[in-house]
């Protein structure tokens, strides 16, 4: 049987959701519980910026129902992004060796391994409750397909042990027509799940990968980044500007058949919206809507109409 497509958003606490999804008066600590009344899955993005504490993760587990699934974005150092040394635990800073800008760019493998260990240890409350989904490895756009990149991903997969690995590529070398078979075979071999993306289309931008729906493990995973090509590589632009896009019904309808096929090929299927800005209310009212929450509800209606089992966006 095909997996149910579980729809969610990338974060439950971005500015647009906070202003336009939650009813007025809902305090920040109660937002996750409210979100979980409308969705049964979410991505946690705050963990990219700082290692989570176990008490923080315990709070997430306590505020969500038993059937809830949280996918957690890997800390920046785990995905080979540079980090400011002051975001590391104090006892790791001496070993991390910052550059003259206060960034740690090439830590030793031993330091990385310790960061992996602490990150995974902090997620135990979710793991113990059966709520931990995959660990999302969103690679930097400068990580290209080459032997050292493959070696690092294989090492990182070993660090995760029994936890699921989700890999999102952001350099097109991984998904060029003559390379994608090699990429998918590699992910299958190491036991990692490929992340399909919907993003702006470009023939020239190397940091925009084509949308290639595929499954390399038990989890089908699609992230919707919006299609705002004008702001994608805008110098100095914010994340809200880059992902500022409201999908139309026609654009989301393009994904009905791919999502159906992905669900048929997997044990679990997820679709997440990362367009984290706001738009004028499409119904013509005076207010604004969270793009991610609005599009999640749109996708749910389209899947329901097509007879494809789905949850989220209620």
Does the structure show a pLDDT above 90 at 221? yes
pLDDT band at 240 (very low <50, low <70, confident <90, very high): confident
Q: How far apart are CA 104 and CA 81, in angstroms?
A: 9
Per-residue confidence (pLDDT) for residue 97, from 0 to 100: 85
| Contact of 195 with 215, CB cutoff 8 Å | no
CA 149 to chain centre: 20
* 3-state SS record for 134-202: EEEEECCCCCCCCHHHHHHHHHHHHHHCCCEEEEECCCHHHCCCCCHHHHHHHHHHHCCEEEEEECCCC
Per-residue confidence (pLDDT) for residue 244, from 0 to 100: 93
Per-residue confidence (pLDDT) for residue 203, from 0 to 100: 86
Calculate helix-pair angle for 147-160, 180-190, nearest 10 degrees. Answer: 30
* 3-state SS record for 263-294: HHCCCEEEEEECCCCEEECCCCCCCEEEHHHH
Does the structure show a pLDDT above 90 at 18? yes
pLDDT band at 152 (very low <50, low <70, confident <90, very high): very high
Does the structure show a pLDDT above 80 at 263? yes
pLDDT band at 1 (very low <50, low <70, confident <90, very high): confident
Task: Tell me the whole-structure pTM to 2 decimals.
Answer: 0.96
Average pLDDT, the chain: 95
Per-residue confidence (pLDDT) for residue 199, from 0 to 100: 95
Does the structure show a pLDDT above 80 at 237? no
Per-residue confidence (pLDDT) for residue 164, from 0 to 100: 98
Per-residue confidence (pLDDT) for residue 136, from 0 to 100: 98
pLDDT in tens, 83-136: 999 999 999 998 998 998 999 999 999 999 999 999 999 999 999 999 999 999
284: left (phi over 0), alpha (psi -120 to 50) or beta: left
Cβ neighbors of 301 (< 8 A, separation 6 or more) are: 313
| Contact of 271 with 5, CB cutoff 8 Å | yes
pLDDT band at 142 (very low <50, low <70, confident <90, very high): very high
* Poorest-pLDDT segment among 26-30, 44-48, 211-215, 232-236: 232-236
Cross-sheet strand order for the sheet of 219-224: 41-44, 69-73, 132-138, 164-168, 193-198, 219-224, 268-273, 5-9, 310-311
Per-residue confidence (pLDDT) for residue 168, from 0 to 100: 98
Per-residue confidence (pLDDT) for residue 170, from 0 to 100: 96
Calculate helix-pair angle for 54-62, 109-122, nearest 10 degrees. Answer: 30
Q: Which residue in this structure is represented by tokens 């910026």?
A: 49
* Distances from the Cα of 198 to the Cα of 168, 195, 218, 225, 231, angstroms: 11, 10, 20, 6, 15
Per-residue confidence (pLDDT) for residue 233, from 0 to 100: 85
Domains along the sequence of the chain with CATH: 5-311 (3.20.20.410)
């Amino acid at each position: 049987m095909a997996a149910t497509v579980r729809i969610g958003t990338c974060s439950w606490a971005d500015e647009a959701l906070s202003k336009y999804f939650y009813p007025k008066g809902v305090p920040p600590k109660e937002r996750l519980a409210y979100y979980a009344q409308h969705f049964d899955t979410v991505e946690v993005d705050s963990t990219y910026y700082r290692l989570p504490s176990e008490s923080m993760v315990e709070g997430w587990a306590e505020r969500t129902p038993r059937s809830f699934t949280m996918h957690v974005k890997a800390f920046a150092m785990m995905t080979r992004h540079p980090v400011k040394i002051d975001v590391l635990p104090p006892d790791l800073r001496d070993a991390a060796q910052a550059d003259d800008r206060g960034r740690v760019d090439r830590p030793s493998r031993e330091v990385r391994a310790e960061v992996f260990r602490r990150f995974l240890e902090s997620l135990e409350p979710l793991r113990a409750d059966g709520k931990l989904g995959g660990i999302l490895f969103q690679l930097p756009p400068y990580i290209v397909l080459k032997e050292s990149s493959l070696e690092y991903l294989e090492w990182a997969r070993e660090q995760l042990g029994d936890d699921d690995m989700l890999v999102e590529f952001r350099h097109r070398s991984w998904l060029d027509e003559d390379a994608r078979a090699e990429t998918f075979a590699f992910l299958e071999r190491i036991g990692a799940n490929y992340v399909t993306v919907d993003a702006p289309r470009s023939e020239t931008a190397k940091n925009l990968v084509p949308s290639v729906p595929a499954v390399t493990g038990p989890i089908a995973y699609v992230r919707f980044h919006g299609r705002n090509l004008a702001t994608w590589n805008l110098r100095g632009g914010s994340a809200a500007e880059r992902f500022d896009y409201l999908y139309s019904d026609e654009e989301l309808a393009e994904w009905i058949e791919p999502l159906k096929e992905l669900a048929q090929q997997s044990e679990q299927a997820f679709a997440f919206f990362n367009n984290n800005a706001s738009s004028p209310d499409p119904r013509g009212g005076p207010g604004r809507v969270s793009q991610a929450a609005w599009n999640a509800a749109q996708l749910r209606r389209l899947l329901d109409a097509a007879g494809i089992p789905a949850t989220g966006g209620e």
